[in-house]
Amino acid sequence: MVAYKSPEYVQHGRVTKKTDVWSLGVLILEIMTGKFPSNFLVKGKGNGEEDIVTWVKSKLGDDDRETLLTNLEVFDREMGAIGVGDGKTMKQLLKIGLSCCEDDVQKRIDLKEAVGRIEGLKLRNMSNDGEFFSAIASDCEEDMKW
């Protein structure tokens, strides 16, 4: 699927260490928005198609990521309904996803940094709440009991 392919691969067929980071970013954006990348393959302006990365970035407003982070329209409403994490964590995960989807390969974070940032969020949440995303964990445990 084109949505998971990095710009440098789509344009030049070039694969780098940061090509997979783009795919991770798309996956994070997919989870945070609750939308599949294919939902955004619609006729866009100029070059034909708009994908999930372009859609999320379009919500930035003059490339101001803080604008996006106050724009709750981008987040999956179901996540809030089931109590997954707090707003701050969701915003930080979205920032990580966007950092993975930088068009400029030089500005894009690498996989080690992306994983480190995600693990850092997990550790902060565990120390603050005692358990990371405990609502989901307890629901899953209940579902697994026979």
pLDDT tens-place string over residues 61-100: 555 555 555 556 777 777 665 455 567 788 888 889 999 9
CATH number, domain 2-144: 1.10.510.10
What CA–CA distance (Å, rounded) separates 1 from 49?
13
Name the residue ranges covered by the structural domains of the chain: 2-144
pLDDT tens by residue, 93-125: 888 999 999 999 999 999 999 999 999 988 887
Farthest-apart Cα atoms in the chain, separation? 54
Number of other CB atoms surrounding residue 115 within 10 Å: 14
